[in-house]
Structure 1
Amino acid sequence: MCGICGWVDFERDLREERATAQAMTDTMACRGPDDEGLWTAPHAAIGHRRLAIIDLKGGRQPMITEDAGRGPAVLTYSGEVYNFQELRAELSARGHRFRTQSDTEVVLLAYVEWGADLAEHLNGMYAFAIWDAAREELLLVRDRMGIKPLYYYPTPHGVLFGSEPKAILANPHVPRVVDADGLRELLAFVKTPEHGIFKGMYEVRPGQIVQVGRDGIRKRRYWRLQSHEHEDDVETSVKTVRGLLDDIVTRQLISDVPLCSLLSGGLDSSMITALAAKDLREQHLGTVRSFSVDFVGYTEHFKPDFTRSTPDTPYVHDLVSHVGADHTDIVLNSNELMDPAVRAAVLRARDLPLGIGDMDSSLYLLFKAIREHSTVALSGESADEVFGGYRWFHDPEAVTADTFPWLVGENMADHTGAELLFTDEAQRMLDMAGYRDQSYRQALDEVPGLPGETGHQRRMREVSYFHLTRFVQILLDRKDRMSMAVGLEVRVPFCDHRLVEYVFNAPWALKTFDGREKSLLRGAAADLLPESVLRRLKSPYPATQDPLYEQALHDEARKVLEGGEAPCAGLIDPERARAVIEQPVGATSAMASRAALERVLQLDAWFKDYGVRLAL
């Protein structure tokens, strides 16, 4: 994995700005605790922090190659390329000579061979920058599904870039300003492609290349979802999904450091864990190590709700027994979840008050505990987006609504909240309904059509597209920031673009051939999982039900809103906030009220800690 950053300026000698470039690089220390590097030239400063995964001694960065008769090409790279061994063989056959065993060098020499077209040859999760001194051009590249983040900030004479906004914000030339559109994006839960929230900042879109030269910035997509006929029957489709996942997991088990799986007891993570266990056993590499998160008293006192019908732990233990995993339950309490240091660490990891309260804090604490044992983890993230697992995929009201399905009815309560406490004036100014609709129309216009496809099948293609280009980004961002905040690399097998492309084009009737959600995945997992896990209903990542946590939320929100002039006071209606705070514990179990308090607390901390100025 790693953290990358840099600065290109065609009118400035950046060798004299080394201290600033170093400060930008230092912000990425959490992403790369093992090593660091900074390369400077008259018009470029390239920084890197390394988390060593493959070729621990030979993969130092920035990595530089000298080509006879031209200047150096300098690479700063984050991620993993899972087909690097095949690419290495191909590049060797084309005459390239390697000094290391790292996938980093494969990416660098792929650029020497194919230039900006190198991305089309890569299978993996990655975000990288290459400074080509001969061309005086910077290349920014992000993986197809956006698993690894990459931001940039155009300047009058160049660009700043980094894995996270904090790297760019460390440069004194960048004001910490959020305008009305930035605040809307912050609150909307729609993840508009390329939107960086901070004014003037952008995110490289998944599957996009950004080239920066003296003539300005050029952008192009090297990958996007395409629609085509799916001709395979049920049996062939199930077999193809299984074959792809067998190959994907085998590739993603390659590591020179300890590796584990994240296990929730659901279909997705259980299949990844079972495949990993099978592969390791066949290679005589021992048993798979797995970890799960739980809360004190959660299983014993669990209460089903609209979102979750069962606790995770019994199903986790069924899978562990079935595959013989070396398993650890990470059990958390409410004091840990509300620990100010933990909540501050979550905000620093995010750079933005995008959090979902205890579900962010618990994920951070889970990853922190795992990092004491492993450096790499496999995750079941994104299977719901790929195979159609969320409840709203199967809710006619949500599917037929003229908006994103996750923003319909009770689903909406899971994902919004803060604006419910805003003043009438702030709500009119922001017009969140209008912003969400604009984002929806943009997404709808992008959906690749299939000739002759109409009705429900066409609509389900649209719904799948929304999830694979918008919703999944929200969860991948969360996973990346919480894991990299503690130097843990999390791999996402279900985001392999070959699998995504194949399943995206399967008709909805095929994706639900057994009358349930994720039929193709369940069919592919039939021989791997115990019956209890195979038949379990979808249950999202757990949230604590401890009333002590809710009481702590009330208490903290009361302090913020009544303890003087809070930075977010101009947005919040005090009467609305007080009405929520004064409700007895248990009455605010509705997700919208809880989400509202969580977001108010994070907004307050963000304005204070980040010195953000609103320009509304």
Structure 2
Amino acid sequence: MCGITGWVAYRQDLGAEQDTVDAMTETMSCRGPDARGTWYAPYAALGHRRLAVIDLPGGEQPMTTEVGYDGRTVTLGMVYSGEVYNFTELRDELRRRGHPFRTDSDTEVVLRAYVEWGTSFTERLNGMYALAIWDPRIETLVMVRDRMGIKPFFYYPTADGVLFGSEPKAILANPSVRPVVEANGLQELLTATKTPRKSLWAGISEVEPGTVVTVDRAGLHHRTYWRLETRQHTDDQETSVAYVRELLDDISRRQLIADVPRCVLLSGGLDSSAITALAAGQLADAGRKVRSFAVDFVGQEENFQADELRGTPDTPYVHDVADLVKSQHSDIVLENAVLTDPDVRRKVIRANDAPLGGDIFCSLYLLFAAIREQSTVALSGESADEVFGGYLWFHDPEVRKRPMFPWVAYAVSRRGSGPFSVLRPEVLQQLDLRGHLHDRYTEAIGEVQRLDGESDDEWTMRKICYLHLTRMVRILLDRKDRMSMAVGLEVRVPFCDHRLVEYVYNTPWSLKTFDGHEKSLLRAATQDVLPESVVQRRKSPYPQTQDPAYVAALAEQTRGLVADRHPVFELVDRKMVQEQVRQADGTARRHLEQTLSLATWIDLYHPEIRLG
């Protein structure tokens, strides 16, 4: 796991731009604290910051390899972020085809796979990755992103080439790029839609998941090598459950491979408990214990109040799992003073390159920072709800009927207001967030393929599942990646293995809920390794502190913004915020977090905002 960046320019000497390339590379230092490197070739410069996970001495980057071409020897260069979990099988095959290897790293396997198969090598990879290869044979940059979008990857076309990076901050470090945010960028941010290729920053796009983007003298070219496709599911219930378990066993085995300390993230829910139990079994076979970590908050037991989303606190279930699998467990208990610390908020927003800094982001950052002191790799239960259909709104008949992103429909129905209602009315009118949501929803469902003979109910649920697996999951994966890599922790997501995603997506909704509960397939596939308390527990999302002191601290900080007449109020409704400061209750919490996050982002990035 690492941070990558680079610059391709066909009409200038990048050797004279070393200071800029170094600055772009250094923005990725949190993602790669162990080593740095840059590499130059005619028309191309590559930068890399490394987090060493596999083959600690041999996996340094940028990595190069020499190949014969047109009667001479040329050098290909690559920067790579992520992990390919089937690299040992690929290496064996490449050796049989005559390729020599000088390291034990998956990086060299990926580069050699490109040499052997060209851009079609992507179909052979199983993992999470963002990579860029400069191929002097065709004077082309090849950019590749994993199928589910687990690893972030951004690019910025220029007049004579392209800039790219794991995060926008690498691109923004180039003085030719101005930090401009236009209306469509704010629409993406404020509606949580994650439209393919779109980003917050004007001119900066995402490499779409499952896509190869090549850059040559003629410009940019896109090729999709993977998309979520509709297929007939013919397995019965018993066979489906057994195959899900078979996949999970294989996935957990592969994703535990590392040359550094590993652990699991444990919340006491079905998803993380299943991963913890499977990992514990895999490591027990090797005579080792799994390490597990959970987040909690000071006073959570005293302050906890059940609501529609969170019926029970996590800690008792966490300990049930830890006791059963005999993990080396640690509770990371966070205080409100740290959760509301402006310095933590700044680090979170800097990691996101966006005004996303509420308590979930801050607590994730603090949890990951604490884990990083003891481990370098963590396995997470992230994305199981999207894959298996776990959220409450999957099961809400009213939400199903609404032609809208289900998570937005659910939030509007519960809160009675739209996203980011803290903004000034005239700003909201200019942005037309409802129109944006409608257009993006229409585009998204237009991608879904209906199975011949599929009932209307199954078709409805297929569309809902598709929206989660191609839109919502990317938001959560980005959050997980940014918060973990900000402290140099690699978080792996077993439930995003594309084989599992494809298989479960195509199981009928009736099979996903065959026992009358959410995530029936996952529960049935793993119940033999879980405590009964977790098997029977209903879905509970990532925990949040319920201490009233948390909101009180936010209100006090926001009061200071109002008094200082901060420029955030060019976007935010000052009167509404003043009222929220006076209330300082649970309903004010979201608005106070949004206001503080926007203000911090403006202070850090000084964005030029264009709404017209």
TM over 0.5: yes
Q: 1:250 aligns with which of 248, 253, 278?
A: 253
Q: 1:433-582 maps to which residues of 2 (within 5 A)?
A: 433-564=434-565, 566-582=566-582
**Residue of structure 2 equivalent to 1:354:** 356
1:75 pairs, out of 69, 74, 78, with 78
In the other structure, the counterpart of 2:30 is 30
* Residue equivalent to 2:609: 614
The residue aligned with 1:217 is 220
The residue number in structure 2 matching 1:316 is 318
Give the structure 2 partner of residue 60 of structure 1: 60
Q: Tell me the CA shift for residue 341 of structure 1.
A: 1.3
Whole-angstrom distance in 1 between the partners of 2:333 and 2:508? 41
Structure 1 residues 327 and 455, CA gap change in structure 2 (3 angstroms): same
1:327 aligns with 2:308: no
Q: Partner residue of 1:301?
A: 303
Partner of 1:594 in structure 2?
A: 589
Distance 1:118 1:107 in 2: 8
Deviations 1:404-463 (A, max 9, x none): 111114466689876312222111111111011111011011112212213110010000
Amino acid paired to 2:513: T
Q: Does 1:131 align with 2:127?
A: no
User: Is the partner of 1:554 in helix, strand or coil?
Assistant: helix
Residue 122 of structure 2: aligned partner: 119
Show the 5 A alignment for 1:127-166: 127-166=130-169
Contact 2:269 2:540 (C-alpha < 8 Å) held by counterparts: yes
Match of 2:274 among 271, 275, 278: 271
Render the CA deviation track for 1:127-151: whole Å, top value 9, x for unaligned: 0000001211000000000000000
Aligned length: 608
TM-score by length of 1: 0.97
8 Å contact 1:225–1:448 — kept in the other structure? no
Where 1:614 maps in the other structure, the secondary structure is strand
Task: Output aligned runs, 1:320-469, within 5 Å.
Answer: 320-355=322-357, 357-410=358-411, 419-469=420-470
Residues 262, 375 of structure 2: 8 Å contact kept: yes
Identity %: 59
CA-CA distance at 1:70 after TM superposition:
4.3
More deviation in 189-198 or 382-391?
A: 189-198
Letter in 1 for 2:507: A
1:509-549 CA distance string (max 9 Å, x none): 00000000000000001110000011101000011101111
In the alignment, the residues of structure 2 paired with residue 414 and residue 256 of structure 1 have an alpha-carbon distance, to the nearest angstrom, of 47
Match of 2:600 among 605, 612, 615: 605
CA distance in 1, matches of 2:271, 2:111: 34
Q: CA deviation at 1:188?
A: 0.7
Contact 1:379–1:493 at 8 Å: present in 2 too?
A: yes
SS of alignment partner, residue 301 of structure 2 = coil
Cα deviations across residues 108-164 of structure 1 (Å, max 9, x unaligned)? Answer: 000000111111110000000000012110000000000000000000000000000
TM-score by length of 2: 0.98
Q: Deviations over 1:164-202 (max 9, x none)?
A: 000000000001000111111111111111102110000
Superposed displacement of residue 53, structure 1: 0.3
| RMSD, aligned CA | 1.3
Partner of 2:15: 15
Select 2:262's aligned residue among 259, 263, 274: 259
- Correspondence 1:83-94 to 2 at 5 A: 83-94=86-97
Secondary structure class of the residue paired with 1:319: helix
Letter in 2 for 1:151: F
Measure the CA separation in 2 of the matches of 1:412 and 1:350: 28
Instruction: Name the CA shift for 1:413/1:580 in 2 (closer, same or farther; >3 Å).
Output: farther
Aligned to 1:182: 185
Structure 1 CA distance for aligned equivalents of residues 606 and 383 of structure 2: 34
Unaligned runs of 5+ in 1: none
Stretch moving more, 136-145 or 400-409: 400-409
Q: State the one-letter code of the partner of 1:283.
A: A
User: Which amino acid in structure 2 is aligned with residue 337 of structure 1?
Assistant: L
Cα pair distance change 1:154/1:189, threshold 3 Å: same
Give the residue type in structure 2 aligned to 1:226: E
Deviations 1:461-503 (A, max 9, x none): 0000000000001110000000000000000000000000000
> Following TM superposition, by how much is the alpha carbon of 1:252 offset from its aligned partner in structure 2, in angstroms?
0.5
**What is the one-letter code of the residue matched to 1:371?**
R
Deviates more, 1:593-602 or 1:155-164: 593-602
Distance 1:64 1:562 in 2: 56
Q: Which residue identity is paired with 1:312?
A: D
Give the corresponding residue for 1:201. Answer: 204
CA distance in 1, matches of 2:431, 2:516: 41
> CA-to-partner distance for each residue in 1:79-111, whole Å, 9 max, x for gaps?
000000000000000110000000000000000
C-alpha distance in 2 between matches for 1:567 and 1:108: 48
**Residues 303 and 547, structure 2, Cα contact 8 Å, conserved in 1:** no
Partner SS for 1:220: strand
Structure 1 residues 291-340: Cα deviation after superposition (integer angstroms, max 9, x where no partner): 00000110233101122111100000000111100000000010010111
- Distance, in Å, in 1 between the alignment partners of 2:424 and 2:606 is 22
Aligned residue type for 1:610: Y
Letter of the 1:434 counterpart: G
